[in-house]
A and B are shown apart, each in its own frame.
Chain A
Amino acid sequence: MSDPGAGLGLGKDLVGLEPLGREQILGILDTAEPFKEISERQIKKVPVLRGQTIVNLFFEPSTRTRISFEFAEKRLSADTVNISSSGSSVEKGETLVDTARNLEAMRINMVVVRHGSSGAAGFLADRIPSNVINAGDGQHEHPTQALLDLLTIRDRFGSIEGRRVCIVGDILHSRVARSNIWGLLKCGAEVAVCGPRTLIPAGIGDLGVRVLRRVEEAIEWGDVLYVLRLQLERMKGGYVASLREYNRVFGVSSERLRLASDDLIVLHPGPMNRGVEIDSDVADGERSVILPQVTNGVAVRMAVLYLLAGGQPELAETAKGGVA
């Protein structure tokens, strides 16, 4: 394990899916396959990243993503440190670049970063020699989320190519939507977005997606309905009148899903607002693959950590064989 991202040519970092090619994305998904099994073992630990130090640097609150990364790191035997913005020197006015340089001076190997500003992960990646994995930067990208979504879609349909995926909700503020748009398009899916026009960003069509006005159209059209979380702050911004209004017009209910084809599946990146963007009977129903997404998240993140640490995709099966 030496040459970073060797085999797939990922380079030092994973900042987004926009710069990646189809083969690279599918290569990461393939690498994730053998890692799925580790989490099913009695002893969930392999020595793949033994001796590597990973910092989880979270400038924004996160439960799901942070825990998923932590499980992935620990199951690969890495040493991890978690830093969140409250209580750290960040609150004392330290700049992002100084925080990074200080971490670097402690000789770390990787940084998993979550930050509220678009471009922050790339900013960090350009300034430190450690591997940087973007765990969400502003409204820009959240590449591991999209990778786990792609893996979940592939698990269900066997292939992403030719599938119709509609992302429903607050596209304007969503890094998950952007990473999924890039990933899905590169893997050959047809992509649409749907939501209140106040939450559909300008020029989205230029990215290669279609815009559907009504959620009923999205349900009739798609094989996959990707339901985004409606951030409660959007009410204050005046984008949507109320949660009730949003649910009335865009909520995904089992009644509306009667328009869907038999094999339509529903994804959600979590955490859900039940009764707002998605009704409980849909979230818990048989079309929902929301929990498999969470399970796949750990495998995908293991694959990304393994590849950036210099692992060969074709050796993933052997590498995970050992017991820590």
Chain B
Amino acid sequence: MKRPVLLVGGRVVDPSQSIDEPRDVLVLGGRIEAVERGLAGPDEAERIDVSGLVVAPGLIDVHVHLREPGGEHKETIRSGALAAAAGGFTTVWAMPNTDPPLDDPAAVGFVRQEARAWARRGEGGARVSPVGAASRGLAGERMTEIGGLVEAGAVAVTDDGYPIADPALMRRLLEYTQTFGIPVLQHAEDRALSAGGVMNEGAVATALGLRGIPNVSEAAVVARDVYLAELTGGHLHVQHVSTREAVESIERARERGAPVTAEATPHHLTLTEDAVRGYRTDAKMNPPLRTERDRIAVREALIAGVIEMIATDHAPHHYEEKEREFDDAPFGIVGLETALGVCIRELVEPGDLPLSGLVDRMSCAPARAMGIEGGSLRPGRPADIVVFDPGEPWTVDPARFLSRSRNTPFAGERLTGRVRRTIVGGQTRYVGS
């Protein structure tokens, strides 16, 4: 039996119960027992003083790449889970574009077992939920055995990294997944329109002599997919929305009641294509950083709740893979260990989103939208908790990341808000200095 834990003196921010006030939190048997003022707790409880700190439901990231199997020089399930815990995340969804891809039950089961095995050895981080491949070999042609993937632990399906181009396959996926009540996650990109592109299309790409990816390559696929979701009633989740046009499609679809959810990344909320100048490969990702107009549209949609959640698209790459010609460098940046600090600095500090709103976008909303546990400190729920100092400034030093990779455009930046402790199922998995 795990020892009870009592978090004393903190400010509990739990939008799922509309709580934002000083309360103590008692954890018993890995679950939340009580969230009250002046809790005494059992004598044997471990009492942790969290005065001056925020206690919130653990963050949930439905979009990370842990690279294992096949890319262990970039990240492993263990290092990724530890990096997630260091960033305040208690649950992450691991994408299936590994090598081999997570397109059969054994591969899906491996990811879940591996994460649990590290946790049993006392070296666990965040919970890792595998996302199964939507098509065999991520080839976009034949559906995987989704029932088998779900049995092995898959919480969703996607071909992330490889958009599902064939509308008939997308339709079947949105139909078939309804048996299991899981979403189809789509990286919306028309590869014919984005072919050869390495950054946003426009004046910056033109000046740099780099091939552009136009907004319409995302917008056209989102527009199609929301109609398919409406037609079928299947849950479509639009990954990393980057364009104003995609925001418009999603907003209109939701007004019509379509079963569509969406995520935005911290980098699309804060950076624009200008970050690429100087051929900075740490600002190369897909979808690319867009214009200021797009950035504002995505940000406003997140604040309004049209895009209901933040996800990092944590995409680790080894430094030597990024230390090269821009055209040849891989897409993607790490995000787990900077997400909270970036979002507090960019959204909460300027007053655009209250802290409770941010906790909602990073924890409650993903749990609610995906229908998973977590995202709440209600008694009886798993004790997945993040404790952080919302005002503490710190400077990003990638050398100190727990991730195996360092590819971040935020290196050297001052962020606000630092994780002090991450608790998963009542067990402390990360303690910050």
Q: Report if A138 contacts B (CB, 8 A).
A: yes
Whether A118 pairs with B206 at a CB distance below 8 angstroms is no
Chain B residues with CB under 8 A of A86: none
Residue among B209, B214, B320, B323 making CB contact with A118, cutoff 8 Å? B209
Chain B residues with CB under 8 A of A204: 203, 206
Interchain CA distance A115-B324 in the complex, whole Å: 12
B288 to chain A: closest CB distance in Å?
Answer: 13
In chain A between 204 and 237, which residues have their CB closer than 8 angstroms to a CB of chain B? Answer: 204, 206-207
Q: Report if B328 contacts A (CB, 8 A).
A: yes
Residue among B202, B324, B327 making CB contact with A202, cutoff 8 Å? B202
Chain B residues with CB under 8 A of A120: 325
Whether A202 pairs with B209 at a CB distance below 8 angstroms is no
Interchain CA distance A122-B201 in the complex, whole Å: 21
Query: Interface size for chain A: under 10, 10 to 19, 20 to 34, or 35 or more residues?
Result: 20 to 34
Chain A residues with CB under 8 A of B325: 96, 115, 117, 119-120, 123
Interface string of B379-393 (1 = CB under 8 A from A): 000000000000000
Whether A207 pairs with B328 at a CB distance below 8 angstroms is no
Known contacts A97-B323, A117-B325, A119-B326; is-contact A138 B203 (Cβ 8 Å):
no
Q: Report if B48 contacts A (CB, 8 A).
A: no
Q: Report if B1 contacts A (CB, 8 A).
A: no
Q: Report if A186 contacts B (CB, 8 A).
A: no
Chain B residues with CB under 8 A of A140: 208-210
Known contacts A207-B203, A207-B207; is-contact A202 B214 (Cβ 8 Å):
yes
Residue among A122, A138, A203 making CB contact with B206, cutoff 8 Å? A203
Interchain CA distance A172-B214 in the complex, whole Å: 14
Q: Report if B205 contacts A (CB, 8 A).
A: yes
Whether B202 pairs with A138 at a CB distance below 8 angstroms is no
Interface string of B203-237 (1 = CB under 8 A from A): 11111111110100000000000000000000000
Residue among B202, B209, B214, B279 making CB contact with A123, cutoff 8 Å? B279
B406 to chain A: closest CB distance in Å?
Answer: 16
Chain A residues with CB under 8 A of B201: 202-203
Residue among A122, A139, A203, A206 making CB contact with B279, cutoff 8 Å? A122
Chain B residues with CB under 8 A of A116: 327
**Which residue of B204, B205, B207 has the most chain A CB atoms within 10 A of its CB atom?**
B207
Interchain CA distance A96-B368 in the complex, whole Å: 48
Chain A residues with CB under 8 A of B203: 202-204, 206-207
Known contacts A117-B326, A118-B326, A119-B279; is-contact A139 B210 (Cβ 8 Å):
yes
A312 to chain B: closest CB distance in Å?
Answer: 30
Chain B residues with CB under 8 A of A96: 324-325
Interchain CA distance A206-B203 in the complex, whole Å: 6
Q: How many residues of B contact A (CB 8 A)?
A: 22
Chain A residues with CB under 8 A of B208: 118-119, 140
Whether B324 pairs with A139 at a CB distance below 8 angstroms is no
Chain A residues with CB under 8 A of B211: 139
Whether B209 pairs with A139 at a CB distance below 8 angstroms is yes
Residue among B204, B212, B324 making CB contact with A97, cutoff 8 Å? B324
Interchain CA distance A231-B12 in the complex, whole Å: 64
Interface string of A195-206 (1 = CB under 8 A from B): 000000111101
Known contacts A18-B207, A95-B320, A178-B209; is-contact A118 B202 (Cβ 8 Å):
no
Least CB separation from B278: chain A residue: A122
Q: Report if A170 contacts B (CB, 8 A).
A: no
Q: Report if A13 contacts B (CB, 8 A).
A: no
In chain B between 175 and 219, which residues have their CB closer than 8 angstroms to a CB of chain A? Answer: 201-212, 214
Least CB separation from B326: chain A residue: A119
Interchain CA distance A115-B279 in the complex, whole Å: 15
Q: Report if A137 contacts B (CB, 8 A).
A: yes
Q: Report if A141 contacts B (CB, 8 A).
A: yes
Whether A141 pairs with B209 at a CB distance below 8 angstroms is yes
Interchain CA distance A18-B277 in the complex, whole Å: 12
Whether A118 pairs with B324 at a CB distance below 8 angstroms is no
Residue among B202, B205, B209, B323 making CB contact with A175, cutoff 8 Å? B209
Chain B residues with CB under 8 A of A18: 207
Interchain CA distance A139-B211 in the complex, whole Å: 9
**Which residue of A117, A120, A178 has the most chain B CB atoms within 10 A of its CB atom?**
A117
Chain B residues with CB under 8 A of A141: 209
A145 to chain B: closest CB distance in Å?
Answer: 14
Whether A118 pairs with B327 at a CB distance below 8 angstroms is yes
Interchain CA distance A97-B211 in the complex, whole Å: 23
Whether A201 pairs with B205 at a CB distance below 8 angstroms is yes
Whether B209 pairs with A138 at a CB distance below 8 angstroms is yes
Chain B residues with CB under 8 A of A175: 209
**Which residue of B212, B278, B326 has the most chain A CB atoms within 10 A of its CB atom?**
B326
Chain B residues with CB under 8 A of A178: 206-207, 209
In chain A between 133 and 185, which residues have their CB closer than 8 angstroms to a CB of chain B? Answer: 137-141, 175, 178
Least CB separation from A117: chain B residue: B325
Interchain CA distance A120-B328 in the complex, whole Å: 11
Chain A residues with CB under 8 A of B327: 116-118, 138
B412 to chain A: closest CB distance in Å?
Answer: 16
Chain A residues with CB under 8 A of B209: 118-119, 137-141, 175, 178
B323 to chain A: closest CB distance in Å?
Answer: 6
Interchain CA distance A139-B207 in the complex, whole Å: 9
A15 to chain B: closest CB distance in Å?
Answer: 11
Whether A95 pairs with B206 at a CB distance below 8 angstroms is no
Least CB separation from A205: chain B residue: B203
A202 to chain B: closest CB distance in Å?
Answer: 5
**Which residue of B203, B204, B212, B214 has the most chain A CB atoms within 10 A of its CB atom?**
B203
Chain A residues with CB under 8 A of B328: 117
In chain B between 316 and 344, which residues have their CB closer than 8 angstroms to a CB of chain A? Answer: 320, 323-328
Interface string of B260-298 (1 = CB under 8 A from A): 000000000000000000110000000000000000000
Interface string of B303-324 (1 = CB under 8 A from A): 0000000000000000010011
Report, nearest first, the 5 A-B pairs whose CB atoms are least far apart. A203-B203, A119-B279, A140-B209, A139-B209, A117-B325
Between A and B, 13 residue pairs with Cβ closer than 8 Å are A95-B320, A118-B326, A118-B327, A120-B325, A122-B279, A123-B279, A140-B210, A141-B209, A201-B212, A202-B212, A203-B201, A203-B204, A206-B202
A residues near B (Cβ < 8 Å) are 18, 95-97, 115-120, 122-123, 137-141, 175, 178, 201-204, 206-207
Contacts beyond the supplied A96-B324, A117-B325, A119-B208: 13 A-B pairs with Cβ under 8 Å: A18-B207, A95-B324, A96-B325, A119-B279, A119-B326, A138-B327, A202-B201, A203-B205, A203-B206, A204-B203, A206-B202, A206-B206, A207-B203
